Structure 1
Amino acid sequence: MYNTQHNSYIATITMKLSLKISPLIKLLPFLCLVACASIPSPTANWHVDAVSLYDSGHDKGTEIIGVQQTTLRAVLSNFDTGEVDVLDVSKPTHLKRTARFNLGLTKGEELTSVAFHPTLDVFAAVIDAGNSPGRLEMRSASTGAVLDRLTVGFGPDAVVFSGDGSVLMIANEGEDFLFEPLNKQFFSPEGSISLVRLSKTGHINSHKNLELADVINHQTIVINQGGRFMEREIDWNGDGKISKKIDFNGDGVIDKKKVLLGYFEGRDVFGTETSGEKKILIPVKTHSPALLEPEYIAISPDASKAYVTLQEDDAVAVVDLRTEQVISYYGLGASQHKTDSHYDGWVKFDQALTGLREPDGITTVADGRYFVTADEGDTDSDSASLADNQPTSGGRSVSVFDAATGTLLGDTGNQLDETAFANKIYPERRSSKKGSEPEMLVAVELDGIPHVAVGMERAGAVELISLADPRHPKVVALGKIAGDENKSPEGIAHFEVAGEHYVITANEMSGTVECFKISRHRAE
């Protein structure tokens, strides 16, 4: 474990989806980079400065991080080792590990998320048990001992506390697929939302698993006509492992050909032999109950409602926490703006994008009046859908919605990618996919004005966005994560020390945690 300091880099749904999208994206050799865009004006009065780096000692796996403001401690999950680190963040320039707990997972289990209780010496951890229901564990943050546990839904992927610590919610994604060879059928358990009420000591008082209804009849939901698919790891041949290359059709040759493997809800499922079982292509039948996969949760400040991203369906489920019911679905529509959509060695932000938002992270701001999404994208479009003018996956944006109605107020357009380019970290090889990929975000109030800090998974950075005008969210600063290796910030959290604001990211592909200080710009 080590710490270091280094310099940072500065820097509606009823819409008509009618813009033309290029039918094919060609991958060409890297030539040179040329900007052809208006870079956001450097008028922001905030900096995001990296102040320290914590190395877990593992090459990867540091995925989710949560901070307890009252004690200035953080919990950090490692999906690769099944461990939880407890960090002292009271000195942001010198992050220090105070404990490491191995959760003792069995084969096939994965630690997917952690969260620190707001006030108690307790953290929550959720474990994905593959084809069996997952579980929640409430553990001591001092000793790691299990205080309580609970069986939850399939594929728990995120755990979140309410501000007062009385409610805990889990997004059970249920994204694992199985293959039944006799009938050549693929199937998946349905996703759900766990609502857990806690005692004042952090023990489980009650639990309810909320099922997700068919959302197809909700007026705000855009029905996509097909041509989208998800890449999923599936043990197709039943040998208990995921093979990265496999001779699907048994002809003795492994090449790039697509092979029909079976069917999912009446649609063809293909695999590419050179990708094997790691990337089997599941067709997206919009609003299939099996594809309603809760991703992340934002609980309103008064703990009356929760907003749950359904990434593959480009929607948010609204939960009334008083009645313990899913009461509505908000379709999120598409972001339309100019971007760079070709990996051809030239960065030109002049191509039209119509991208389904498909958000991962979500948070609330302004006392719960708005919810804000990080529009990463998760599905892929085939050439046929592009020819049919279907929207692509991922808005490459951060979007602001009215929490009471689900009405879109505004989004960042292409500011995220343009700011990354201005700071020389735009991942041009991702232009034909989802750009810099906004992943998770956290609310930060600066001088009484709501902001969000968003982790840019492919650019390896944090961008700060002002919501002073919710209809025109503006990127005002960027902080770069240290190093040249693949970093992939996943989890992000905010905390304060002596009135100063900090954000901290868990960088899953480098095994590190970066701490940034948010500070005012000082005039030269």
Structure 2
Amino acid sequence: MKNKNLLALTLLAAAFNSCTDHFPENPETPVVFKEVASIDLGETAASEISAYDPATARLFTVNNESAAKVDVLDLSAFPAITKLQSIDISKLGGVANSVAVSQGKLAIALEASNKQANGNLIVMNTATLTTIKQIAVGALPDMVTFSPDGKYIVTANEGEPNADYTADPEGSVSIIDVTDNYNVKTLTFGAFAGSYNQLALGGFRVYGPGASFAQDIEPEYVAISSDSKKAFVTLQENNGIAELDLTTGTILKLHPLGSKDISKMANAMDASDKDNKIALAAWPVKSFYLPDAIAPFSSNGSDYLITANEGDAREYAAFDEQKRVSTLSLDATVFPDAVTLKKPENLGRLRVTSTRGDIDNDGDFDVLYGFGGRGFSIFNASTGQLVFDSASSLEEEVIKAGIYDDDRSDDKGVEPEGVTIGMIGNKPVGFIALERVDAVAIYDLSNPSAPKFLQILKTGDAPEGVLYVAPDKSPNGKGLLVTSNEGDGTVKFYQI
């Protein structure tokens, strides 16, 4: 009897060990994320960007709906969440656009009351909430981040024009050296003006009315290398990425991002919100990537960058580059079926730029350029070369999940806006916030040339900020995903 029991136990153990697909080696292996907590900040169009301080177990969230402030959330008893006294910064200037945390310091990017004037960076103690330093930076600081070693704070100063385009400040990047009494160096892009013709061949765009090269550049988001030596800055409306050397405080290169060929079935998209169906198809269109967020990660000893290719256009009272295909004159040789293409159920509703595409300057369009990549891209950080683009696969997963919004088909689709990386089971995992379907797409990036789709996770309305807190820094010792949802003012928390 004893031998029979021993044999049975041996067989059971062997069967258990063979079920590796059901019993992951690491409990943090991504199987499925689920919502574990949520808080409503009480206001619409709030909750934009969040940053977490592990020392105090506090989450800091930008909230500008009623006044310029940063909400402070206590996660020390997580999943219970306590809202503490907000940080009122309304007397310091305009509104806060971004926050970042490192080594007990909170950095707040604050635009001026006059958005075209220089903004400020406020550095505070995360525990006492007292101000450590206020530093002048460029116009409209839109994003702030710390280098991994905490030595540098970098702001992307977008420098947007005013509504009538009579004032257009130069876009810039400010590098603050924390170890040198917060000494600041603000860099502009005028030195690259002579390279524009070559950059334009690669899809780089400079096109604001009356704007110089330096004025037209609009830095959006910053990623910093793991060794804290380089920064990579998306220039969204310009369709490029700037590479900076933080140690010397110089701009090294501008990388044009080209365009996505929608005539290839691999890049198929739904171009109409009036066709009464969701159907991806190839169309005679090229689309500029125009990335918003960017994040760094490493895999197998190499460094990479991932971008969320949102696709923002310039849209002002005095200048709106967007036109629907139905309103354009199309070259008859290139588009012999123009009448059919311009129907609302085909390409007629699609928004394209009016600033490029008339190659022979005869008044009609020879190429149609749309906005956004409707997915994400991965680049080699050392060479700038494209390693992977999600083509139509991300939107295919959204369609499978039953949450695709056909009303956005004519206008950038799912609109990927935010992106962050979490290390889970020693693998880099990407979280891409999809603004127009209220969801986060999750991918295993351990093979950067062939990411593996893991999950579509529903969020609050219009997720803008997406943050991953590693288990060793999380308030409950488990990896924590946080989304800041601009549309409904919620902050949501997810764990495996």
TM range (shorter): 0.7 to 0.9
Pick from 36, 53, 59 the counterpart of residue 68 of structure 1.
53
Which residue in the other structure is 2:260 paired with?
335
CA distance in 2, matches of 1:328, 1:295: 16
Q: In the TM superposition, what whole-angstrom CA distance separates every residue of 1:131-179 from its partner, at most 9, and x where no partner exists? A: 3211111123234322210111111111101112111000110013264
Shift in Å, 1:191? 0.6
Q: Do 1:412 and 1:474's aligned partners in 2 also have CA atoms closer than 8 Å?
A: no
For residue 124 of structure 1, the aligned residue among 93, 104, 107 is 107
Identity %: 29
Residue in structure 2 matched with residue 288 of structure 1 by the alignment: 213
Measured in 2, the distance between the counterparts of 1:49 and 1:354 equals 37
Checking the alignment, whether the CA contact within 8 Å between 2:43 and 2:489 is kept in structure 1 is: yes
Which residue type is aligned with residue 254 of structure 2?
A: Y
Mapping of 1:69-218 within 5 angstroms? 69-80=54-65, 81-105=67-91, 109-117=94-102, 119-120=103-104, 122-129=105-112, 130-177=115-162, 179=164, 186-199=166-179, 204-213=181-190, 214=192, 217=195
**C-alpha displacement of 1:301:** 1.0
In 2: Cα distance, 1:319 partner to 1:46 partner: 37
Gaps of 5+ in 1: 1-43, 180-184, 231-263, 266-284, 520-524
Give the aligned partner of residue 318 of structure 2. Answer: none
Write the distance in 1 (CA, Å) between the matches of 2:132 and 2:75: 24
Counterpart position of 1:467: 445
Structure 2 match to 1:317: 242
Q: Distance in 2 between matches of 1:223 and 1:400?
A: 17
Classify the secondary structure of the residue corresponding to 1:289. helix
- Of the structure 1 ranges 433-442 and 96-105, higher mean CA displacement relative to structure 2 is found in 96-105
Q: Deviations over 1:82-118 (max 9, x none)?
A: 1111223345533332331211336x7121111112x
Equivalent position amino acid for 2:177 in 1: R
1:44-79 Cα offsets, whole Å, 9 max, x none, are 963222221111122332111011244432111112
Task: Report Cα offsets for 1:454-493 as digits up to 9, x if no partner.
Answer: 11111111111121321223332111025xxxx1111111
Partner of 1:412: 390
Determine the C-alpha separation between the residues in 1 that align with 2:373 and 2:126: 38
Can you list the C-alpha shifts for 1:175-212, whole angstroms capped at 9, x where unaligned? 13264xxxxx734011100000113xxx8431101111
Tell me if structure 2 keeps the 8 A contact 1:415–1:475: no
Change (3 A) 1:225 1:381: farther
Higher normalized strand content (fraction of residues): 1
Structure 1 residue 504: deviation in Å? 0.5
Residue 128 of structure 1 deviates from its aligned partner by 0.8
Tell me what 1:394 maps to. Answer: 372
Q: TM-score, normalised by structure 2?
A: 0.76
What is the RMSD computed on CA atoms of the aligned residues? Answer: 2.5
Would you say the 8 A contact 1:172–1:194 is kept in 2?
A: yes
- Report the 3-state secondary structure (helix = DSSP H, G, I; strand = E; otherwise coil) of the residue aligned with 1:421: helix
Q: Which runs of 5+ in 2 are unaligned?
A: 1-28, 262-266, 314-320, 329-353, 358-364
Name the SS of the counterpart of 2:220 in structure 1: strand
* Residue 49 (1) aligns with residue 34 (2): yes
* SS of the residue 1:458 aligns to: coil
1:334 Cα deviation after fit? 2.0
- 1:425 to 1:91, Cα distance in 2 relative to 1, 3 A: farther
- Alpha-carbon distance, 1:289 to partner: 2.3
Which amino acid in the other structure matches residue 417 of structure 1? E
Match of residue 488, structure 1, among 445, 462, 466: 462
- Provide the secondary structure at the position in 1 that maps to 2:488: coil
> CA 1:193 to 1:45, structure 2 compared with 1: closer, same or farther past 3 Å?
closer
**Matching residue within 297, 303, 313 for 1:365:** 297
Q: 1:22 — aligned with what?
A: none
The verdict on how the C-alpha distance between 1:472 and 1:215 changes in structure 2, with shifts beyond 3 A counting, is farther
Could you tell me whether the CA contact under 8 Å between 1:221 and 1:330 is conserved in 2?
A: no
Larger Rg over CA atoms: 2
Structure number with higher relative contact order (C-alpha < 8 Å, ≥ 6 residues apart): 1
**Is the contact between residue 66 and residue 115 of structure 1 (CA under 8 Å) also seen in structure 2?**
yes
The residue type equivalent to 1:88 in the other structure is D
Note the C-alpha offset of 1:288.
Answer: 3.1
User: 1: CA distance between counterparts of 2:127 and 2:280?
Assistant: 50
Q: CA deviation at 1:221?
A: 4.7
Secondary structure, aligned partner of 2:395: helix
